[in-house]
Every structure is written in structure tokens, then in C-alpha cells.
Copies of this chain bind each other. A is one copy, B any other.
Amino acid sequence: MTDLVAQTNEALAAGAPALAACLSPLGRRLAFPPDIPFQAAQARGKAFNATIGQITDGSGRALPLSAIAGGLSGLAEVDRNRALLYAPVEGIAELRERWRAWQRARMPAALVARAPELPSSLPIVVDGLTHGLAIVADLFGADDRPLVVPRPFWGNYRQTFTTRTGSPVLSAPAYVDGRFDPLAWERALAGESASSPAIALVNSPSNPGGYTPNAAERSELLASLLRIADRRPLVVLCDDAYAGLVFDEAPAASIFWDLVAAKHPRLVPVKVDGATKELLYFGGRIGFVTFAVEPGTPAHDAIESKVKCLVRAVVGSPVATSEVLMLQALRDLPTAEAEIAATRELLAGRWRALTAALGATDRALLRPLPCNSGCFSLVELPEELGITAEQVRQHLLAHHDVGIVSIQPRFVRIAFCSVAEAAIPELVRRLELGVRELAAAAKSS
């Protein structure tokens, strides 16, 4: 271990001991090395700066191909230039500051009075939400550190954590008797005697569930996570991909803030969020990783150093073009927020149409699970039908011109975020019809 790595680990042990205790072997090895980006940062502003391997006019301006620059002609020259050149490894400073303000403006109402005492780091820019999850997996995941996530869950968690880092998935049903179970994480760990760190993944609004806990469930969930942390070190990874898309009275704020406020000595809250859904920018791949550590502290710089080392090792630096485009929106918040609210209303209309259409279907064929948020709705097929969700998916593709996602063993996910409200009743009619046909065929065979 180099001196730099040792110093980084010591700064974390002193300033963020719960986090330091949860680091994986890879996480412990990381520190941003004092090589080219570090030396380039020191050389900024020098009369003769020969540190950076990007081709410029000699005064820091890009020399782009006209076709690429032309696509960005809607940007002011200074921004277009930034969009064409490397971004800093940690992301563009203005974007990090503005996103931190965006995050903190969305704290739970009950915590706003306590805002000054709730630390949150300058978000580190990454290449989309999944990249944020992969960084958390690398920092904390390993064979002996389970990923705890209720099922059904987004399948890619398995690739990001288990395939890459070896973290086994521990799970329990997210829904019991057709209702969300806020104790699912604790149940998934029941009977585990290990004292190694665990990673609890909280995805709210959820994918594929489209569910956000109501106030009572949220309290139960928080208390349950704290009980887990009483027993073993616990990273709580808040996958806030769908933040803000809540269509009923459930509290929309991230539980990251409640976990920060709880100040449990063995619980490490981490927030992963980004522009993909929150700013409706799917093709840009901008995500952020945020820790409960205040800027300006040695622990802040130490965890930032570890994440920057991973960003540099895996993708070099985050996408400058998308960062600059995202900044355009964040600089005019009233317009962006009004447009986001309008899209939320559009989705709410689709959600209401879907809820109504599913509500009118035959419970012997389709069992809709609770859905109040996000982009998806989940339907369970009754076990007694004797058919799988994958059979339904194939049948709908082949015979009803309908694409849905099947999730083992008997869940169907409907992405209402990409279907027009007017099309939803017919979509549900075909789904019900397809299930009815398959169930009849299964019964007669």
C-alpha cells in the first residue's frame, strides 16, 4: 500500500469511520494518483501549460470538426468549447454545485429546519446512474458482503454487483399479500449470522414496482434499516433514479436524508441520482454519487479521491458534452421545473389510465401490485393459471403486437412512461386477452 492510499484510508477512518469500515479490499486500495490530471490541475492558468493531452489552438480552445461543433450550435461559444474538451475527472465544478443545491432543495419537509447540520458531499459526476451503482459496488462489494434487495428487482443489479464483485444477492418478497413490505430488507437478512458489512439497496420510486412507500411504511422501513445497522455495518444505497415521479400522497423526498439525519454510527447512506429521468435526459448518461460527508473536510476529499480513482480507471472522465447540456437546464430552474412538472402530469395521466384499466380486469387473470410512482407498473399472474410471465411475453409479441417485460417467475412489467395515455386501455385489454388465451390453453393441455 502506498503512502497516498494509507493517508486516504486514515482520513476516512478519522472523519467517516462507518464508511471506512465498510470498504471492500478494492475500495481500500483506491486513491487518486498524483499523475496527469492532478498535475494538469496544478498547471491551470500558467502562461505555458504543456500538461494536457488534448488538441487545442494553444489558448485552451477546442479545434473540433465542423460537423460536431455544428450539432452544438445552440450553445454559447464558451459552453460549446467546454462541451468539446475533457471535463475534470470529478465533473464540472458548476454542475456539481448546482446539482448539490438541487438535491438539498428536495429534502423532506420535516428535515428542512435541520438542513445546516445534515452533511452532503459535492456530488461526483459519473456516466449515468448505473455507473454510480457500479462505483458503489466496487467501493463496498465483495464475496462476503451481500447485496440486500427485495424482489422483484431490476435485474442489472445482479450484473453490477454479483457478476463483477461477487456480492451475493439476499432477497425477500417486496410485496406480501399484495402490499408493499417495508421489512423486506430485514427479512432478507433473517437467519444471517455474518458480521461483515451488507449493502441494502433502496430504490424508490422502484423499478420494476413503480412504488414509493407511504408515510407509515417509510417510518417502518427506516426503523428496520437502523435495526440492521445495530447488528452489522450497513451501506444503504439509495438508487434515486426515478426521484420526483410520485403521483399520490406518498412522500417524494429521498430517504437518503432521513438516513443522514439518523446519524447511526454503523450506517453509511449513499445517494445515486442523475439527469436521466430527473431531467428527462436519457441519452446524456449523467449520474452523481453523493455521500453524507461535508465539503471541506479531509474525509470528503478522501472519499472523493477514491471515487475519482475509479472514474479515471474505468472511463477516464465523465462526458463533458452532456454535462454542459445539463447545465443549460439547471441555470434556468423555473423553466426546467415547470417543464418537469408538466411531464410529471403527463405521466400521472397515464398512470391513472393504467390504474383504472388494470382495476377493471379479471383478478383471476391479472393481479396488479400497488403502484403510485415512477415509470412502471407491475402485474402478478396468479400461480394457479399455470403459466409463466415469459410465456405471456412471447405470446403477446407473436399474436397481439404488444411488447411488455417478463420478470421471473410470474411478473409482467408495463412501462407506462413510454405509452400514450390513449393507448393504455387497449394495451391492457390485449394483455388480459393474451393471459386468458394462454391460461385456457394451459388448462386444456
Tell me the A residues contacting B by CB distance below 8 Å. 26, 29-30, 33, 35-36, 39-40, 42-44, 46-60, 62-68, 70-75, 79, 82-87, 127-131, 134, 138, 154-156, 158-160, 163-164, 207, 277, 279-285, 309, 312-322, 324-326, 328-329, 331-332, 335-336, 339-340, 343, 346-347, 375-376, 393, 397, 400-406, 414-423, 426-427, 430
Q: Is the CB of A309 within 8 A of B42?
A: no
A/B interface sample: 9 pairs, CB < 8 A: A50-B418, A58-B419, A66-B339, A87-B283, A127-B319, A131-B315, A159-B313, A284-B320, A314-B314
The answer, among B36, B57, B155, for a CB contact under 8 Å with A420, is B57
Q: Is the CB of B319 within 8 A of A164?
A: no
Q: Is the CB of B48 within 8 A of A419?
A: yes
Q: Is the CB of A321 within 8 A of B313?
A: no
Q: Is the CB of B26 within 8 A of A329?
A: no
Q: Is the CB of B54 within 8 A of A418?
A: yes
Q: Is the CB of A406 within 8 A of B319?
A: no
Q: Is the CB of A55 within 8 A of B280?
A: yes
The answer, among B46, B64, B312, B403, for a CB contact under 8 Å with A397, is B46
Q: Is the CB of B75 within 8 A of A71?
A: yes
Chain B residues with CB under 8 A of A335? 65-67
Chain B residues with CB under 8 A of A87? 283
With contacts A285-B317, A403-B46 taken as known, whether A54 is within 8 angstroms of B339 at the C-beta atoms is no
**Closest residue of B by beta carbon distance from A430:** B48
Measured in the bound complex, the distance between the Cα atoms of B56 and A1 in whole Å is 49
Q: Is the CB of A74 within 8 A of B85?
A: no
Q: Is the CB of A282 within 8 A of B71?
A: no
Q: Is the CB of A62 within 8 A of B282?
A: yes
Q: Is the CB of B319 within 8 A of A397?
A: no
Measured in the bound complex, the distance between the Cα atoms of B58 and A417 in whole Å is 8
The answer, among B71, B309, B320, B401, for a CB contact under 8 Å with A324, is B71
With contacts A35-B156, A50-B403 taken as known, whether A321 is within 8 angstroms of B418 at the C-beta atoms is no
Q: Min CB distance, A371 to chain B, in Å? A: 13
Q: Min CB distance, A21 to chain B, in Å? A: 21
Measured in the bound complex, the distance between the Cα atoms of B57 and A422 in whole Å is 11
Measured in the bound complex, the distance between the Cα atoms of B321 and A72 in whole Å is 10
Q: Is the CB of B329 within 8 A of A67?
A: yes
Chain B residues with CB under 8 A of A43? 397, 403-404
**Closest residue of B by beta carbon distance from A138:** B164
Measured in the bound complex, the distance between the Cα atoms of B415 and A35 in whole Å is 14
Chain B residues with CB under 8 A of A156? 35-36, 312-313, 316
Measured in the bound complex, the distance between the Cα atoms of B397 and A324 in whole Å is 30
Measured in the bound complex, the distance between the Cα atoms of B29 and A164 in whole Å is 9
Measured in the bound complex, the distance between the Cα atoms of B60 and A420 in whole Å is 10
The answer, among B42, B60, B160, B328, for a CB contact under 8 Å with A313, is B160
Chain B residues with CB under 8 A of A160? 313-314
Q: Min CB distance, A335 to chain B, in Å? A: 7
**Closest residue of B by beta carbon distance from A416:** B50
The answer, among B57, B280, B322, for a CB contact under 8 Å with A64, is B280
**Closest residue of B by beta carbon distance from A154:** B36
Q: Is the CB of B68 within 8 A of A329?
A: yes
Chain B residues with CB under 8 A of A346? 63
The answer, among B79, B315, B339, for a CB contact under 8 Å with A127, is B315
Q: Is the CB of A48 within 8 A of B317?
A: no
The answer, among B33, B54, B67, B417, for a CB contact under 8 Å with A417, is B54
Chain B residues with CB under 8 A of A75? 71
With contacts A55-B343, A75-B71, A277-B55 taken as known, whether A48 is within 8 angstroms of B282 at the C-beta atoms is no
Chain B residues with CB under 8 A of A49? 402-403, 418-419
Chain B residues with CB under 8 A of A82? 283
Q: Is the CB of B281 within 8 A of A65?
A: yes
Chain B residues with CB under 8 A of A84? 281-284
Chain B residues with CB under 8 A of A416? 50
